[in-house]
Amino acid sequence: MADHLSRLVIESHDTPIDDAFPDKHLIAFTSGQAPWFADFTNYLASGIFPHDLSSHQKKKFIHDINMCFWEEPFLYKLCNDGIYRAASP
């Protein structure tokens, strides 16, 4: 590969290097509703419960969160066969 690169013909060395990366963007949800796993990952990463949960929803959330495992940047969920599988797409 180095041999190939050394044989490249470069016409001009006067062109400045473009350090801008136009493909890097801050992505935000515009639909108003986050994916189903967003509350799980936020809780496992920060320890903060989602707001607007009733007492029943909070109990269910705690039960469901015990079936999940967070290893940045992936969320794993315990499946019925006892194996943790990636839950986030």
Question: Mind listing the pLDDT tens digit of every residue in the chain (89 residues)?
Answer: 566 666 766 666 676 766 676 666 555 555 666 667 778 878 888 888 888 888 899 899 888 888 888 787 788 888 888 888 887 55
Task: Tell me the residue range of the domain where 67 lies.
Answer: 2-86
Only one residue has tokens 């599988």, namely 85
User: Tokens standing for 17?
Assistant: 């290097």
Number of domains present in the structure of the chain: 1
How much is the pTM?
0.51
Using CA atoms, how far residue 80 sits from 36, 59, 84, 85, 87, in Å, is 19, 20, 9, 10, 13
